[in-house]
Chains A and B, each alone.
Chain A
Amino acid sequence: MKKRKPNDLVLQTVTKVVSFLIILFSIRMFFAGHYEPGGGFIGALMTSAALVLLLLAYDAKTLSTILPIDYKIITAIGLVFAIGTGVGGVLFDVPFLTHAYDKFYLPLLGEQTLHSALIFDLGVYLGVIGVTLTIIKTIGESE
């Protein structure tokens, strides 16, 4: 008798909707971190939760087809962002990790205040995503 293929139609259809909601929530958490609860760490954990849901509903091969990324490189890029904001302060003759902000006029968004701590937070975000998914994929794929 032929071995039946697993049929996860409900789980896969729910995942297609819910993973986008989780990623939107994580982006909102990331940008809310300056004035409200949230920040780079929890935003990155939510993004990795969406990717873990994709890993659960599909498989590791499908996720590496959707996102052909080496997560160790993502961690390295995050650390470069975090160190880069620190060194950027030194270039302007102020101590290491001194941050600055200014008002900018963005198209569509109007006048917004941009702070260089956001780039540091982006480094934390990329680092946490890289570490979490490296751990999960390394443990999950060992035969």
Chain B
Amino acid sequence: MTGVFMGALIVLTISIMMLVIRVVKGPTTPDRVVALDAIGVLLIAIIAVLSMLLSTYAFLDVIILLAILAFIGTVAFAKFIERGVIIQHDRNK
């Protein structure tokens, strides 16, 4: 069973390396933001496989935490690209 988990980890690592290439040479900022969001999702998958490999429940909180943080970070980046400000004082003004 360990071999299956190691194989999954290798595949996920290769995917993250390809996404890092997209982050480095992405021509526009939205390319980089989407690549960073996908890296966050793949990190979640890596933590899930690692917690199966180490046979522990201790990392399951980290998974939901990373999902929340990746979502909020992506929303903040998207709002910065669209409006130029992240937190407005009054949006109807």
Contacts and interface: CB of A to CB of B under 8 A. Distances in A.
Interface stretch (A46-54, A77-85, A90-98): A46-54
B58 interface: yes
Contact of B68 (A11, A25, A37, A62): A25
Interface stretch (B10-18, B24-32, B72-80): B72-80
Interface string A21-53: 010010001001000111000100010010011
Contacts of B64: 25
A61 interface: yes
Contacts of A55: 87
A56 B92 CA distance: 14
B75 A59 contact: no
Given A25-B64, A38-B61, A42-B65, A59 B72 contact: no
A52 B72 contact: yes
A18 interface: yes
B86 interface: yes
A136 B76 CA distance: 13
A59 B68 contact: no
Contact of A60 (B58, B61, B71, B89): B89
Nearest to A63: B87
Given A38-B61, A42-B65, A53-B72, A58 B86 contact: no
A49 B72 contact: yes
A136 B71 contact: no
B86 A6 contact: no
A125 B61 CA distance: 18
5 contacts: A37-B58, A37-B62, A49-B69, A60-B89, A140-B87
Interface of B: 58, 61-62, 64-65, 68-69, 71-72, 75-76, 79, 83, 86-92
